[in-house]
Structure 1
Amino acid sequence: MSSRTNVTAKRLMDACELLLCKAHALEELTARRNAIRVQATPSRAELVDILPGLVESFAWGWCVTLIFGLLYNFFAPRWR
């Protein structure tokens, strides 16, 4: 039973090591691609693709600010 457990543990460790090596290789590839992109200037199409996300983030920021600002102004005087 003990040798069977050792074989299973060895196989599991080998599988984990292989998975970690593949993940590390993928991280290196992604890092290299990002480094290449950083040196390139974004095209007009890429900037247009980013614009809706920026607008949405700005709108959500103001929405959260208004809600929490109103809540703070409502509850702050009651706690003093």
Structure 2
Amino acid sequence: MLAKITSKNQLTLPKSITAAVGPAEYFDVEARNGQIVLTPVRIQRGDAVRAKLAELDLSEQDIADAVDWARSTPLSDKPAK
């Protein structure tokens, strides 16, 4: 399926493609092996994030402590994913 890029680097995706991946306002874009790859990204709203934090029983201080730890710890000392 063809899509044309405009002089302003805008690209209109065919409706059949967007229908196949579901509604998405944002896409992660990367170049892979000479191809442009678009991956839909679901941006969580703040209230959804707060609900998840409450579900996990995490406080704002827990998050602040985790950020401080991540910023102060060398990458080699951090556990692998």
* TM tier, smaller: under 0.3
Instruction: Give TM-score, length-normalised by structure 1.
Output: 0.27
Larger radius of gyration: 1
**Which structure has more RCO (C-alpha within 8 Å, separation ≥ 6)?**
2
- Which has the larger strand fraction? 2
